[in-house]
Structure 1
Amino acid sequence: MKVKAVMIVILLLCIGCTKVDKPIDEQKEEANDNKEKSAVEASINEDPRDEIVTKERTRIYPDNRNIKYKGRIDFENARQPILYWSGSVIQTHFEGTSLNLHFDDEGGKHGQNYYSVIIDGQETVLACEKGKQVYTVAEDLDDTVHSLKIVRRTEGWDGGTTFLGFDIDPGKRIQTPSDYAKLRIEFFGDGTVSGYGMDDAKGESKETKNKNYTQTFAAITAQNLEAEEHVTALSGLGIMKSDELDETMVDYYYRTDIHGMKVWDFKAWMPHMVIIHLGQNDYRMLQDRQPEEIKQAYVSFIHKISKKYNHNVDIVLTLGGTESMDSSSPFPQYIEEVVHMLREQEQVNTIHYMLFNDWVSTEQPKAAIHKKMAEQLTKFIKEHITHWDKKGEQLTYDLQRTQQDFYGFGAQVWAYGATDKYPDLPSIREKALEALNIQYIRIENYLESATWEDMKKLREVTNDKGIEWIYMIWYGPNHVAHNGMLKDPEGFGKWWAEHVEQLYQQGIEVEYIELMNEPDSNGEWSLGIAPKEYFQLVQHVRKELDEKGYEQVGIVGPGLTGIKHGRPEQYIEWFKDTKAEDLSIWSTHIWMDDQSGFLEGGRSIEKSWLPFEESVQEVNPHKPVFVTEYATKQSDYHNHYYKMPDNFGSWDDEKVFPYHSVSNVIPYAVRVYENTLALLNSGANSTLVWQLNDEPTEVHRKSKSWGLVDLWGNPKPVYQALLTLFPHIPVGAQVIEAPHQQAHQLYSGCFKDGNKIILGIANGNDKTYSTTVRLINAPAHLVVKDALAFEGTYYGSALTGEPDRGTIVNRTVGIENMGDGTYDIHVTLPRDSTLTVILDTE
């Protein structure tokens, strides 16, 4: 095996710490403008896919979900994440024999940045050159799967490094790392934590080549405890006074970037424990300060940190490894007294202190000392911190932070009657509507597939169940169209009013109409309607309906192809002057590039939702929002590729698996469950899944299998997954504001109905992951009433088309009362599974 590292030392100008005279707000505005320009340039120059395969290479981009990140990293642009802080990690597994690394390094005043590149456990050191560079870090490896871990050795003073992706062998892929942390620790500290001077024998050089976080007591302690750490540490920083700086840790602890242009979202990553190692620089610089002033500065800073984590983290103050532990130093006593003060105030969760008494030096401690310090700290944590070994990540929901009301779930339905070949279609449909607690159906009367009689029978069924209709059409009448586009909005408005009148005369009383399926599809999936003509159509339909006495029939729209590329702002802005008074419900679909090509699932939907949300909020934020079509077009999972439900091949009944597609597999089921949570988290009041059950949609070309249930009434995995969620969120429940989940392996949503709390969690990975969901401001005496898991029991072959099989099981879920209305729910989800936890008061 050959592993290469580039070692080049160059002199750089001081970029990261240059002082400017502009006010900080102007600095931030200018920085954001520059960032936006960079993002635009990247979108032009880079392919939007997360990997590109050519004859020469496979290019892996940073937003590929199989890359795992650790540390306080700037993810404002997911395709160009920026690493500033010591100990930041990029991790994955890659196939093949070689690896190139793409970095764009900012550089700092004392030299270039350094990274440890660890392949299959073998470490080499990469010295970054300033600017965009490609580094060959491995070649001539065995043609197999290799582990890769890249760790930042240098600190924030040395400038940011933008990660631009990997190159690996052509046709090869990367895989998700299998390890996960049992514990999360955040370190705040000075140069002892960041690794300043670690590799300098004399401890005098400021050159970046001598900085090395990987050998610090912080890094080793995290390894000992199988923890994931975040490191916010800079050499020279103190609590009250820093070395050669006006700022202190109080000015840096909240920053995402070293320049202070972006504030870190503390909800993005919630530690179980915070370790604060400061005091050395204060000891050197504060000989003339009063003890009470110094102690109060500690207390104030600790309060700031504790508050960021809702006073629910264990905090450990440490001191030592340097001259701050000298016999003449008052700081050990200060630390002890600070802890006693905080304990008396009872304003933090738990507070401890630990002194590294055995090591006193005027130099920065080296690797051997750091190792001993780590042994002492590891032992202390195991002996003094309860639940130190709790597993997984943490998500926090504040039950007082409510969003929109939930109106109920829905589904696309067709009105086919019983046939000789499929005599049970109506009963299959009715059972699914009942079991899933469907509140809305979206439906159209296909002339070749449904009759008025079939429609009336279905209307009677839905009336009995209290289900409301959203009636729609695919294509308009010929006399209002030209070349696939609407040319006569007024004439189409009259047609619609007459059609609704006809429905009511047949006893089919619809509550809502969606005027055209995806009017922005330019005739591909409907009659194309331009934004202005769509606005005019809505006005004409509303006028004609009112004149005929159908004021109760609401209009749902615009129902575009998607929220990312459906141009929602171009359609919605036409309603600005009227505040959309003629629309009853905003609607959109989630298809096309909103999901296909994005492997993030729910996280991708949240990001793509923003243009639609902003447009709606500007015009009329008070109207409900329905997603009238959604599922997922993702057809490859864990390196397995499946046929799309639109084109899976023949329905040859002689075949063992006659109509297998991606809708029959477990990962698809988990993705639809996750997308459901994401749409509700984003702001939807109702979601209508595509579609309830398989139907013989065309007489001569039967090639669609989007249903949750197949033609013979057999539930698919996706039906089972949704069965654990749909019936359990009550109509009228409130959606709880979700935490930032970009860096999490699991995806979740939370809902509240009185004292009843419903948690939905999805694991779309091919590995088991754990999490702790923390509920704050919860009702007293909260207990777990039920925990329904959907899990796979058999994975069929994607090559032969054998369907996957899943099951619904009851799980035991632990809940821990943390006091003051805070509860921790500890869960573990196996690969490709979902979990719905229902809680209520005793």
Structure 2
Amino acid sequence: MCLKINRCWVFVWLCICATTAHSETYVPADNDQYLYTGRIDFSDIKAPSLSWPGTSIKANFTGEHLEVVLDDQNGKNFFNVIIDGNDRFPYVLEAKQGEHRYLISSALSKGKHSVEIYKRTEGEEGATLFKGLWLADDSYLLKPPKRPKRRIEIYGDSITSGMGNEGADNGADHLGSEKNNYLAYGAITARNLNAELHTISQSGIGVMVSWFPFIMPQFYNQLSAVGNNDSIWDFKQWTPHVVVINLMQNDSWLIDREKRLTPIPADAQRIAHYQAFVQSIRAEYPKAQIICALGSMDATANEKWPNYVREAVKNMQDNGDNKIDTIFFEYIGYGQHPRVAQHNANADKLTKFIKKKMKW
């Protein structure tokens, strides 16, 4: 008798579990209540592809349950999943290769919530397809957050990506788990100014030479950040008010220290290459305020490389460009990628500069 009763209870328990497992609401990626930010490939609207650092999806929703569905190319990407604006303690999602459901929480308070899914890593970790959310039964998406009116775009290298910024001061800084674009100076600045941000960056990239076979002038106009490819971004789709360009750190290493370019370019050639890239950005955004930056690694340890930037900007100003300026982030003597504290200091400086320049 006891055995029969136990089997009955097991059967009932299994039925309850099966019912619970299916009592959820799926919200696919093409739902118009999602707010997407960044250069995102929507060629498949049910599986938009996120590759650039800082690309994100925001949504407001109801209910106590939240799962995220991602299909990751290489299993190397990390995301911040920020619930109800609590970005001090995000859920750090380590994506596995292929399509998976990730349980974020099944114990949220009843009522309304917000979520932001933010790509911490960059194109070198690969692309990730966003497939949608699973919510509690009878839950749904609410009206999305408002898109900020101010717009900033930033072009950079590992500093801008946030390489190693969460690493220990005395530790390595190459781990994907410690690369957090959310806490990079550009992203912090954008939040300080309530601005939408597009980040176009790649660790190791330069204007004349990189640690790999392509350079920023070959890369900056891509829709996909995964290596050097044939995808094309439509610059008319989104126009920034401010463009920040923070490049030449890798050029300084690879030309002066590693001697990777033969023949070694003369000073005038270095200025000309940098100026040509900045002019290509100006051609896309005739009315934007361009801020040519450098730092805060050792390219600003002396005035040599900052002076190349100054000369290129002066040449453009002399030719009638009155919406271009410079800013430099101080080298503090730390020999690795800047950590979060330095990113915060750089963001404070950049925030004040943009506020004054744009009257924001």
TM-score bracket, normalised by the shorter chain, equals 0.7 to 0.9
The answer to whether residue 176 in structure 2 is matched with residue 232 in structure 1 is no
CA distance in 2, matches of 1:144, 1:152: 27
1:359, CA displacement in angstroms? 3.1
2:273 alignment counterpart: 297
Contact 1:81/1:163 (CA < 8 Å) preserved in 2?
yes
CA displacement 1:334-353 (0-9 Å, x = unmatched): 1111110010122x461010
Match of 2:313 in 1: 339
- Establish whether residue 308 from structure 1 lines up as the match of residue 284 from structure 2: yes
Task: Say which of 372, 380, 383 aligns to 2:353.
Answer: 380
2:137 aligned counterpart, secondary structure: coil
The 8 Å contact of residues 68 and 176 in structure 1, kept in 2 or not, is answered as no
Measure how far apart 1:357 and its partner are. Answer: 2.6
Deviations 1:321-371 (A, max 9, x none): 1000112x510111111110010122x461010011353432100000100
Give, as a single letter, the amino acid of the residue that structure 2 aligns with 1:171: D
Distance 1:58 1:364, change over 3 A: same
User: Match of 1:380, as an amino acid?
Assistant: F
| Pick aligned residue for 1:116 from 80, 98, 109 | 80
Q: Determine the structure 1 residue equivalent to 2:239.
A: 270
What's the CA shift for 1:308? Answer: 1.5
Secondary structure of 1:102 counterpart: strand
TM-superposed CA distance for 1:180, in Å, is 3.0
The 8 Å contact of residues 71 and 97 in structure 2, kept in 1 or not, is answered as: yes
User: Which one of the candidate residues 96, 101, 126 is aligned to 1:134?
Assistant: 101
Query: Where does residue 350 of structure 1 map in the other structure?
Result: 323
User: What is the identity, as a one-letter code, of the residue corresponding to 1:206?
Assistant: H
- Give, in angstroms, the shift of residue 263 of structure 1: 0.3
The residue type paired with residue 297 of structure 2 is T
Query: What per-residue deviation string (whole Å, max 9, x for no partner) do you get for residues 72-94 of structure 1?
Result: 11111111100001000100011
Superposed displacement of residue 238, structure 1 = 0.7
Separation in 2, partners of 1:55, 1:208:
34
Q: Structure 1 residue 262: deviation in Å?
A: 1.4
Distance 1:238 1:261 in 2: 19
Deviation at 1:381, TM superposition (A): 1.1
1:46-66 CA-partner distances (Å, limit 9, x unpaired): xxxxxxxx9611110111111
- Kept in 2: contact 1:203–1:363 (CA 8 A): no
* d(CA) in 2 for partners of 1:339, 1:370: 24
Q: Is the 8 A contact 1:324 1:360 kept in 2?
A: no
2:195 aligned partner, one-letter code? A
Cα contact 1:188–1:275 (8 A) shared by 2: yes
Matched, 1:149 2:144: no
- Which of 345, 366, 373 is the matching residue for 2:339? 366
Local SS of the residue matching 1:369? helix
Tell whether the 8 Å contact from 2:47 to 2:131 is kept in structure 1 after alignment: yes
Contact map agreement 1:99 1:168 (CA 8 A) in 2: yes
Shift of 1:105: 0.1
Q: Per-residue displacement from partner, 1:770-805 (whole Å, max 9, x unpaired)?
A: xxxxxxxxxxxxxxxxxxxxxxxxxxxxxxxxxxxx
Instruction: Write the deviation string for residues 646-687 of structure 1: whole angstroms up to 9, x where unpaired.
Output: xxxxxxxxxxxxxxxxxxxxxxxxxxxxxxxxxxxxxxxxxx
> What secondary structure is seen at the aligned counterpart in 1 of 2:92?
strand
Residue 81 of structure 2 aligns to a residue in which SS? Answer: strand
Match of 2:25 in 1: 58
CA deviation after TM superposition for structure 1 residue 303, in Å: 1.1
Query: Please, what TM-score do these two structures have when normalized by structure 1?
Result: 0.38
In 2: Cα distance, 1:166 partner to 1:119 partner: 13
Which SS does the other structure have where 1:214 is aligned? helix
- Residue type of the partner of 1:313? A
Matched length = 327
> 1 CA distance for matches of 2:331 and 2:346?
9
CA distance in 1, matches of 2:237, 2:81: 26
Structure 2 SS opposite 1:286: helix
1:317 aligns with 2:317: no
The one-letter code sitting in structure 2 at the alignment partner of 1:344 is D
Q: TM-score, normalised by structure 2?
A: 0.88
1:352 & 1:177 partners in 2: Cα distance? Answer: 36
Deviations 1:228-265 (A, max 9, x none): 0000001000111112x121111110001124231011
* Counterpart position of 2:5: none
Where in structure 2 are the equivalents of 1:465-504 lying within 5 Å?
none
SS in 2 for 1:370: helix
- 8 A contact 1:203–1:364 mirrored in 2: no
The whole-number CA distance in structure 1 between the counterparts of 2:343 and 2:198 is 18
RMSD: 1.6
Residue 307 of structure 2 aligns with an amino acid whose one-letter code is: Q
The Cα offsets for residues 717-758 of structure 1, whole Å up to 9 and x where unpaired, read as xxxxxxxxxxxxxxxxxxxxxxxxxxxxxxxxxxxxxxxxxx
**Distance across 2 between alignment mates of 1:95 and 1:349:** 49
Tell whether the 8 Å contact from 2:35 to 2:145 is kept in structure 1 after alignment.
no
Contact 1:320 1:359 in 2 (8 A): no
Q: CA deviation at 1:203?
A: 5.6
Structure-1 residue corresponding to 2:17? none
Distance 1:324 1:112, change over 3 A: same
1:250 aligns with 2:226: no
1:241 aligns with 2:216: no
**SS in structure 2 of the partner of residue 232 of structure 1:** strand
1:172 aligns with 2:139: yes
Larger Rg: 1
How do residues 443-592 of structure 1 correspond to structure 2 at under 5 angstroms? none
Per-residue CA deviations over 1:811-841 (Å, capped at 9, x if unaligned) read xxxxxxxxxxxxxxxxxxxxxxxxxxxxxxx
Amino acid at match of 1:116: N
Deviation at 1:205, TM superposition (A): 4.1
Q: How does 1:355-754 map to 2 (within 5 A)?
A: 355-357=328-330, 359-383=332-356, 385-386=357-358, 388-389=359-360
- Cα offset for 1:140? 1.0
Task: Say if 1:87 and 1:61 are closer, same or farther in 2 by CA, change over 3 A.
Answer: same
Q: What is the one-letter code of the residue matched to 1:180?
A: R
Question: Is the CA contact (8 Å cut-off) linking 2:186 and 2:347 kept in structure 1?
Answer: yes
**Aligned counterpart, 1:670:** none
| Aligned position for 1:641 | none
CA displacement 1:98-129 (0-9 Å, x = unmatched):
1111100001xxx6100000001231100000
- Structure 1 residue aligned with 2:174, among 191, 195, 206? 206
> Which structure has the higher relative contact order (CA within 8 Å, separation 6+)?
2
Letter in 2 for 1:304: S
Check if 1:261 corresponds to 2:237.
no
Q: In 1, distance between residues paired with 2:161 and 2:173?
A: 15
Letter paired with 1:113: N
Q: What 5-or-longer segments of structure 1 have no aligned partner?
A: 1-53, 390-842
- Counterpart-to-counterpart distance in 2, 1:294 and 1:156: 27
Q: Deviations over 1:201-231 (max 9, x none)?
A: 2463422112110111001100111000000
Residue identity over aligned pairs, in percent, reads: 33
Letter aligned with residue 322 of structure 1: M
